[in-house]
Structure formats: C-alpha cells, structure tokens
C-alpha cells in the first residue's frame, strides 16, 4: 500500500540529461576546434619557415648576379625590383609566422 501523496513513478530527467549532453557536445566541439587551430598554426609556421629559407637563397643568388653587372647596366633595375618583390613576400611570411605564435594574456 502506498503512503498518501507519495508517487512511486520516477521523475522525468530528460531535460537535465539533454542539457548535459548539449554542454558535453559543445565542449567536444570547442576541443576539436582548438586542436584544428593548433594543427593549422603548426602547418602555417612550418610553411612560413620554408618559404623564408627559399627566399633567402633566391635573394642571395640575385645579389651575387647583381654584383656581376655594372651599376649603370640596363639590368640593374631588374635585380632591384626582384629583390624588392622578394622582400615583400618575406614580409608576408613574417606576418604568417607572427599569426602562428601563441597569444599571451596581458
């Protein structure tokens, strides 16, 4: 026999479970996004480093070639333009490297 006013039926817990599941899903999503961003930053840093290495080699070769020409040569402006463009790409690679550095809280 049941006590008066006592209900033996279990109370529904679905809203709490659904809320917990939604929170867990969000945590997993954020962790996945953080991991993907970390992997992207690692790839970007590696690419920027390799680009800069290649630019340094090309720039050095251009400077050697430029040195073989007389300063008033018709080709001198071409070497200067190539070096200017290489510097621009090097700056972009530097910006990419800056992006890949972890944020420091102030």
**Phi and psi for 9 in degrees, rounded to 5?**
-70, 135
Range of the domain at 25: 15-100
What the block records as the tokens of 93 is 């690679």
102: alpha, beta or left? (left if phi > 0; alpha if psi -120 to 50) = beta
- Is 84 inside a domain boundary? yes
pLDDT tens, position by position, 36-61: 888 988 999 999 999 999 999 999 99
pLDDT tens, position by position, 15-27: 666 667 888 888 8
- Is 106 inside a domain boundary? no
- Is 39 inside a domain boundary? yes
Tell me the pTM. 0.63
- Is 45 inside a domain boundary? yes
Closest CA to 103 of 34, 57, 53: 34
Q: Counting runs of H as helices and runs of E as strands, what totals does the chain give? A: 2, 0
- Is 9 inside a domain boundary? no
- Is 53 inside a domain boundary? yes
Contact 94, 55 (CB under 8 A): no
**Rounded Cα distance, 22 and 14, in Å:** 12
Domain count for the chain, please give it: 1
- Is 92 inside a domain boundary? yes
């Amino acid at each position: 026999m049941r006590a008066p006013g006592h209900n033996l039926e279990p109370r529904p817990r679905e809203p709490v479970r659904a809320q917990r599941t939604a929170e867990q899903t969000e945590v997993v999503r954020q962790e996945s996004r953080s991991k993907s961003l970390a992997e992207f930053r690692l790839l970007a840093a590696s690419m920027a480093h390799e680009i800069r290495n290649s630019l340094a080699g090309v720039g050095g070769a251009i400077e050697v070639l430029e040195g073989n020409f007389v300063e008033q040569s018709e080709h001198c402006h071409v070497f200067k333009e190539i070096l200017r463009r290489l510097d621009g790409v090097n700056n972009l690679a530097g910006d990419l490297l800056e992006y890949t550095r972890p944020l420091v809280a102030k």
